[in-house]
Structure 1
């Protein structure tokens, strides 16, 4: 391998920045750099720098002989013949053959071949970011990510796609991009056989099986399976919306939400169902649609075994068991388990009727109410009684009608026990106990318990004889 200088594998702090670090941070920085140095030499890099002795003067105290200056390499790997100056470097190198990963994370089940790799991984839990970009001040948890980030300033994009010409700063990002042309999904989940274009997505997907959520919000304690989801969530506390649409100036908390929104302007629908050809602007919507063909319901309730197409449906369903109703109306205090039910309820207070009939000027608070109303124009009656063939425009009307066949009387008077097939019939009957007479003649003021009785009475004023 080509020789590298020490400055290629470490980040210089300015004297002011170094002064701001406490003793533990300085010690951690030195430890990490020392580990990086020895591990790079273990896998064959030659680090040449006249300042290495100054940076690593503490290595003598730990008993490492100064063979890096003499180029003496007495420790040889019997498998590949590579030689090393230190026994520890040979041992670290041997793991490339054995696959041994002796350094395990005590917060999750991940393991690593090198202690430095473990230290870098642990920062995903602690949030430590030691490597700082000297141009923009952005900090990173590992050196490689910093080096990739630096290319955003230099605009160095060495890796070009040979199909569309798009260039990328990192080779692995190019590889991921190329799969958008091939559709190749090389990384498969070993539990459900679901395939992905990137290894990273498999790791995140596996957490849907394990339930692991390693990323925790330090403000509300909510946990997430994916770091990017935590970052987006944190903006619900800060109200930060850094991504702006350049067509309508609407702001968004995440870049993915902005991209999705932009398709409203462009009309782009890049995700197509390979069974029916239907296209979608959002990939998640395509995945949900595909389940209409496969019948797949991957989300199962661990209490009753009921399965769902969407994880959000499972989450809402679980509230049936827990009794949780997190959505509370601030006007009447009524609570709801389902956000859509809550949104519908709010229209009772606001009077909002967003669903307008395009044949008359009538408007409705609910889409289902609009659909039922439209049948008064079309004459459509899609609900048929399977016993007598009578048809109805509403499912509720069919349900009530079926009681004429079954004799079912679900509405019972709690005073005399008499039962009725309809709720309205029970309400009329209850007036025989309460004496309530809600129907009043507007000519003489006489009141009646039933609307039919009022109609009969009104004929004494009008002289009408309809029969």
Structure 2
């Protein structure tokens, strides 16, 4: 295996790679043999090099030995600090020849190029899903094993990826180190900042080959593709209901346990997901940040805006497979589907009456509470439903 040359080099007979020192050559041999003699005492993860074990150990201890001199941010690895420092200099010497996008690291460019080629050489042996990077495959493997080795010391929540733990940590500290240069809005992660920046530029580089719909994020394109394929890979263990997204599954699971950890400080209303709380807060602030470019109408959420935009285009891309009726949004199609199967998941806690839509349940609930939120401006008479008010107004107009 070792061949000593006249230039004090050691050549690998398997791949032909040269090494100047025998120690480096021995470490390299392990990439072929798979040997990993250095094992973490806390979680049993093994490594081919002792230095990799030392770096990994900082995940458990939280040690961050490499600190940025400009902003004080600390990292577990020197490479992480070097990459971060380029954020201050904005140096991005590696440019993609296909789209012109520039990167601070050559490895980031290589990773990006796979978006254009579609290359995904790493395949999951359990489900066949393929990935562009081996690290993504390893992380994906935890969806099968349910392994979550990274635990938050403050609240005990566990994660499959160390980066998710680091991001989660900011929910406790409130740290938002990534700021938008155009509007000043700050974010906990750089990926969320990049996603936000596209709201200013309008860039949507990821296009669906089936229907032509474009997205600002590749993950949204992948999730959207399931509308065409019908794939729902995330299944609830309690009731068997399947979902297209893991976040939808986690949200659904809370319906079984009744957990609503996100509470509004203004009115006390609680929510199962944080995004619903953020959207709800706009009821109090009156904020409607999403404007229709055609008519100027403003909306509290981007989904409401997208649904509204279809009233201008007349687009109805979601067809019911049973009756052929078309809808502007997938949620309208899902709601319509209940008319065929008779599903009524929203039940009144007071009388047991069930409804296909949550809005109908809220409307029904007013019969028990006596609430009449729709008031006639002419005579002051109040009604529990808007339809009752519209009918009443006809008496004034004749």
TM-score, normalization: structure 2? 0.63
Look up the SS of the partner of 1:374 in the other structure: helix
For structure 1, list consecutive stretches of 5 or more residues without a partner in the other structure: 1-11, 38-46, 53-92, 380-467
- RMSD of equivalent CA atoms: 3.9
Compared CA separation, residues 154 and 350, structure 1 to 2 (3 A): closer
Compared CA separation, residues 115 and 329, structure 1 to 2 (3 A): closer
For structure 2, list consecutive stretches of 5 or more residues without a partner in the other structure: 1-38, 56-110
Map residues 218-257 of structure 1 onto 2, 5 A cutoff: 218-257=237-276
2:313 aligns with 294
Compared CA separation, residues 250 and 98, structure 1 to 2 (3 A): closer
Structure showing greater radius of gyration is 1
Contact 2:120 2:133 in 1 (8 A): no
Take 2:369 and 2:176, find their aligned partners in 1: how far apart are those partners?
A: 54
Compute the displacement of 1:271 (Å): 0.5
Compute the displacement of 1:219 (Å): 2.4
Compute the displacement of 1:183 (Å): 2.3
Map residues 426-465 of structure 1 onto 2, 5 A cutoff: none
Matched, 1:306 2:325: yes
Matched, 1:368 2:387: yes
Q: Larger deviation: 125-134 or 207-216?
A: 125-134
Take 1:274 and 1:98, find their aligned partners in 2: how far apart are those partners?
A: 34
Compute the displacement of 1:177 (Å): 2.6
Compared CA separation, residues 203 and 125, structure 1 to 2 (3 A): farther
The structure 1 residue matched to 2:124, chosen from 104, 128, 134, is 104
* Cα deviation code 1:242-298 (max 9, x no counterpart): 222233333222111111111122211100000000111122211111111111112
Take 1:112 and 1:280, find their aligned partners in 2: how far apart are those partners?
A: 37
The structure 2 residue matched to 1:145, chosen from 164, 175, 197, is 164
2:99 aligns with none
Take 2:332 and 2:314, find their aligned partners in 1: how far apart are those partners?
A: 15
Map residues 261-410 of structure 1 onto 2, 5 A cutoff: 261-325=280-344, 337=356, 340=359, 353-379=372-398
Look up the SS of the partner of 1:236 in the other structure: helix
Compared CA separation, residues 302 and 145, structure 1 to 2 (3 A): same
The structure 2 residue matched to 1:120, chosen from 139, 143, 154, is 139
Look up the SS of the partner of 2:226 in the other structure: helix
Contact 1:125 1:215 in 2 (8 A): no
Compute the displacement of 1:121 (Å): 0.5
Contact 1:232 1:253 in 2 (8 A): yes
Matched, 1:131 2:167: no
Compute the displacement of 1:321 (Å): 3.3
Take 2:251 and 2:125, find their aligned partners in 1: how far apart are those partners?
A: 26
Matched, 1:199 2:218: yes
Compared CA separation, residues 49 and 323, structure 1 to 2 (3 A): closer
The structure 1 residue matched to 2:234, chosen from 191, 215, 219, is 215
Compared CA separation, residues 220 and 274, structure 1 to 2 (3 A): same
Contact 1:130 1:139 in 2 (8 A): yes
Question: Which protein has greater RCO, CA pairs closer than 8 Å, 6+ apart?
Answer: 1
Take 1:261 and 1:351, find their aligned partners in 2: how far apart are those partners?
A: 24
* Cα deviation code 1:147-193 (max 9, x no counterpart): 55567778886654333445556443332232232222222222222
Compared CA separation, residues 167 and 370, structure 1 to 2 (3 A): closer
Take 1:50 and 1:340, find their aligned partners in 2: how far apart are those partners?
A: 54
Compared CA separation, residues 267 and 320, structure 1 to 2 (3 A): closer
Take 1:193 and 1:104, find their aligned partners in 2: how far apart are those partners?
A: 29
Contact 1:357 1:370 in 2 (8 A): yes
2:85 aligns with none
Look up the SS of the partner of 2:333 in the other structure: helix
* Cα deviation code 1:332-366 (max 9, x no counterpart): 87765555556656667776655333323544444
The structure 2 residue matched to 1:178, chosen from 164, 184, 197, is 197
Q: Larger deviation: 297-306 or 120-129?
A: 120-129
Contact 2:122 2:137 in 1 (8 A): no
